[in-house]
Amino acid sequence: MPNFNYKIIVIIYMVIMSVIGFVSMGIDKKRAINKKWRIPEKTLFIIAFLGGAAGSVLGMRIFKHKTKHMKFVIFMPLFLALQIAALLFICILY
């Protein structure tokens, strides 16, 4: 049986989710400016929670989006911290 490196799969997954989180923040910001249909906040949180926190936090900062909403200011960095801890555990300690 070949040596399966699950760590690479985890990292690729986190990168893909972060790209989705970043793009989602950018799309939602553009739609907000144009007064069009928006991405629900619940969806933005789910993306961040499922591994896209890094991209979501970066998107918040770059696009200046959701930075005045306390639930985003609190939970997005919290999700990011938890994901960094989980990634360190999986890739280094485990």
CB contact burial 82-91 (16+ within 10 A = b; e otherwise): ebeeebeeee
- Please count the structural domains in the chain: 1
In this prediction, residue 92 has a pLDDT band, given cuts at 50, 70 and 90, of confident
Please indicate, yes or no, if residue 81 is contained in any of the structural domains. Answer: yes
Please indicate, yes or no, if residue 1 is contained in any of the structural domains. Answer: no
What 8-state DSSP symbol labels residue 4? -
Please indicate, yes or no, if residue 40 is contained in any of the structural domains. Answer: yes
Q: Which domain holds residue 16?
A: 6-93
- Tell me which of 89 and 4 has the higher pLDDT: 89
Please indicate, yes or no, if residue 48 is contained in any of the structural domains. Answer: yes
Residue position matching structure tokens 């909403």? 69
pLDDT in tens, 14-39: 999 999 999 999 999 999 999 999 99
Q: Three-state secondary structure along 11-62?
A: HHHHHHHHHHHHHHHHHHHHHHHCCCCCCCHHHHHHHHHHHHHHHHHHHHHH
